[in-house]
Chain A
Amino acid sequence: RKEVEQDPGPFNVPEGATVAFNCTYSNSASQSFFWYRQDCRKEPKLLMSVYSSGNEDGRFTAQLNRASQYISLLIRDSKLSDSATYLCVVKYGATNKLIFGTGTLLAVQP
């Protein structure tokens, strides 16, 4: 079983739509959780951290359910510029090692 699992997509949505991505992780000792964004042929960049209480950054909302080992990302009012791969990432242990999921591809259509 993969340490971090995501639906690879692609998710094809029209502009203005709301889209949700889900992710599960297998190691209950995971301590930190993130969503990264990766544009085509570019490097990953941190989108937002994910906290147990849930957190919001503009049109983006992230949620964590530790009991179910489940992370989600909600994007409201999708823009063309949101088209990218969204990577679910966890950390555990004393090092700063990132464990990435395979990523979910989002294509926002005009």
Chain B
Amino acid sequence: EAGVAQSPRYKIIEKRQSVAFWCNPISGHATLYWYQQILGQGPKLLIQFQNNGVVDDSQLPKDRFSAERLKGVDSTLKIQPAKLEDSAVYLCASSFNRAPSNEQFFGPGTRLTVL
């Protein structure tokens, strides 16, 4: 079974530029998550989707970050404009649904460096 796919794997941009990350969850998984993992820290949830609706975006910096999952399958996370402190690994995860008993499976992540 194919896992969670993410692209690109690496991205280097200058501050104030824009960047977008793409995620394709495991087939049939209704719930999709974006996490930010800063070096030396654990992942932090940015946004959670159930199908194409947002369940939790309480920790998403909405002045610069946006995410969508228009057809309830793949998702895009955008940063505009990027700041130095956005340098991190952006992890996408999916689960069958959002019931707490469901395991989340993580993709390989996109490593973003903002110069």
Interface hit among A52-60, A61-69, A91-99: A91-99
Q: Classify the interface of chain B: helix, strand, loop or mixed.
A: loop
B25 located at the interface, meaning its Cβ lies under 8 Å from any Cβ of chain A in the complex: no
B97 — which chain A residues lie within 8 A by C-beta?
A: 96
- For B, the interface residue count at a CB cutoff of 8 angstroms equals 25
A102 — which chain B residues lie within 8 A by C-beta?
A: 40-42
A22 — which chain B residues lie within 8 A by C-beta?
A: none
Interface hit among A11-19, A38-46, A76-84: A38-46
Number of A-B residue pairs, CB cutoff 8 Å, is 55
- For A, the interface residue count at a CB cutoff of 8 angstroms equals 23
Q: Mark B87-100, 1 if CB is under 8 A from A, else 0.
A: 00001000101111
Closest chain B residue, CB of each to CB of A91: B100
With A96-B48, A103-B42: A44-B99 Cβ-Cβ less than 8 Å: no
Binding site for A on B (CB under 8 A): 31, 33, 40-45, 48, 55-56, 91, 95, 97-100, 102-104, 106-109, 111
Binding site for B on A (CB under 8 A): 4, 8, 31-32, 41-46, 87, 89, 91, 94-103
Extra contacts besides A41-B111, A95-B56, A96-B102 (19): CB < 8 Å = A4-B42, A8-B40, A43-B108, A44-B43, A46-B104, A89-B42, A91-B100, A94-B98, A95-B98, A96-B31, A96-B33, A96-B95, A96-B100, A96-B104, A100-B42, A102-B40, A102-B41, A103-B41, A103-B42
